[in-house]
Amino acid sequence: MASLEPDGTARNAHAARRRAEYGPAAKTLHWTVAALVLALLGLGLAMVRWPANWLSPLPLALKSELYQLHKSLGLTVLALMLARLIIRAVRGAPPLPDTLPAWERRAARITHAALYVLLIAQPLIGWLLVSASRVRLGSVAIAVPTHWFDLFTVPHLPALAALAPAEADRWAGIFKSLHTATAIALTALVALHVGAALRHHWVLRDDILARMAPRLGRSRKGRSRPLALSLAPALALALAALAIQPVAIAAAVPARAASDGVTPKTAVPEWRIDPAQSAIAFTARVSGQAVKGRFTRFTARIAFDPADPAMASVEVQIDIASLATGQAELDAALRGADWFDVAAHPLAIYRARGARRMEDGRYALDGTLTLRGVSRPLTLPFTLELRGRNALARAAATLDRTAFGIGPRGAISGLTVAPEVRVEIAVAARRAP
């Protein structure tokens, strides 16, 4: 660039470099957002479209962790993009070189503006989507909270959180389609942006990409530093963010062959449950008042043929630590030694082999529930709605908590907790191909 040469003084060269390049804050934000967006596109696809027949189905607990991770990273992009906007408004961007044809300068401005719009719109749409989404619990519909890296809970947007379930579903459907469409547009735009940057670097051999390269694209003497060297850490981070996911997820998925004794025979159809549409909730009565809660993490292996229920085989594992009543102190008390004793008994497990069709058209599973280390038989009647490959099963049962040693039998600080606890289960599942 001509402005670097005129009098050869270090100060002039430095000032010229500052004008021609983005600042360190803008560069850091650019490469961090780039890595996060690649990670988010990969994560989003893995959560929503993990092929049921690839390696093994995603376990439910892992899937809901991925949803939380996706939401946390996505909201981080929103915060970083707002910071980027402020920096850009204050410091501006280095002007594009005059040597660039007018059409290319216009195309660059349009692409950059579109990237800003989409990178702010996409996380906002995601936030709108989770604020409108509800999981079905029998007749009750509940919203899934968003925990930012388990550090704090991000509130749902109030106007959507207050909607009646049917209206909320309608909006959730709209935001879901919009989120997918924006992800496709973003992928296309990122490809265009990367392609243009690489064309400048490798075909036109100019300094456009060096303007955004980390650790400055030029050495002190004003000579170009090999760009591959400058970009290597950022590219490695971005590629690792994309590549690590299938590997990490595949590693976390337990091999089907290594599963336990309830692995179904191949002849019986298997069902993959949809955690976003499935829920396990409980209602207890404290001095006559209903206290409601649910377990947010559980996995299920289901093999079931409606035409031959006797061959059914089901195992549900509930992560007790995921219990949530909406009151943090109560949750902590319920996880404690007097109640669920999560430290000693982290999982509740329900296993059943064989189901039967009842006279009223419902089915029933005869199984065993192991809770707090105590196993008791539990018959679970359930209704089944089949639509093509999709199924919705709803079950409800009343348990005696004292039979499992959960909580005291008498009054606690003047409050009485009824021994009976109502449990409601809704499982949305899709038949494996």
Is the Cβ of residue 40 or residue 323 nearer to ligand HEM in the bound state?
Answer: 40
- Scored b (16 or more CB within 10 A) or e, 183-204 reads beebeebbeebeebbeebbeee
By CB under 6 A, name the one of 180, 277, 402, 416 that touches ligand HEM.
180
- Total residues contacting ligand HEM by CB under 6 A comes to 28
Q: Which stretch binds ligand HEM (CB under 6 A): 13-21, 73-81, 286-294, 319-327?
A: 73-81
> What's the closest the beta carbon of residue 252 comes to ligand HEM, in angstroms?
19
Enclosing H/E stretch for 315: strand 313-319
Q: Does 367 bind ligand HEM (CB under 6 A)?
A: no
Q: Which stretch binds ligand HEM (CB under 6 A): 74-82, 209-217, 287-295, 418-426?
A: 74-82
By CB under 6 A, name the one of 71, 200, 218, 353 that touches ligand HEM.
71
d(CA 140, CA 256): 33
Q: Does 77 bind ligand HEM (CB under 6 A)?
A: yes
Q: Does 48 bind ligand HEM (CB under 6 A)?
A: yes
List residues bridging with 323 in a β-sheet: 295
Q: Does 186 bind ligand HEM (CB under 6 A)?
A: yes
Sign of the dihedral defined by the CA atoms of residues 315, 321, 327, 330, in that order: positive
Q: Does 275 bind ligand HEM (CB under 6 A)?
A: no
Q: Does 44 bind ligand HEM (CB under 6 A)?
A: yes
User: Footprint of ligand HEM on residues 130-159 (CB under 6 A)?
Assistant: 130, 146
Is the Cβ of residue 223 or residue 387 nearer to ligand HEM in the bound state?
Answer: 387
3-state secondary structure of 269: coil
d(CA 60, CA 42): 18
Q: What are all long-range contacts of 244-251, with beta carbons under 8 Å and residues at least 24 apart?
A: 245/39, 245/42, 245/43, 245/46, 246/42, 246/46, 249/46, 249/50, 249/58, 249/62, 249/66, 250/55
Q: Give the Å distances, CA to CA, from 289 to 244, 258, 332, 409, 422.
A: 48, 45, 20, 17, 13
Q: Which stretch binds ligand HEM (CB under 6 A): 11-19, 20-28, 69-77, 377-385?
A: 69-77
> What's the closest the beta carbon of residue 399 comes to ligand HEM, in angstroms?
31
Contact 390, 262 (CB under 8 A): no
Please report, as ranges, the residues that interact with ligand HEM according to CB under 6 A: 37, 40-41, 44-45, 47-49, 67, 70-71, 74-75, 77, 119, 122-123, 126-127, 129-130, 146, 176, 179-180, 183, 186, 276
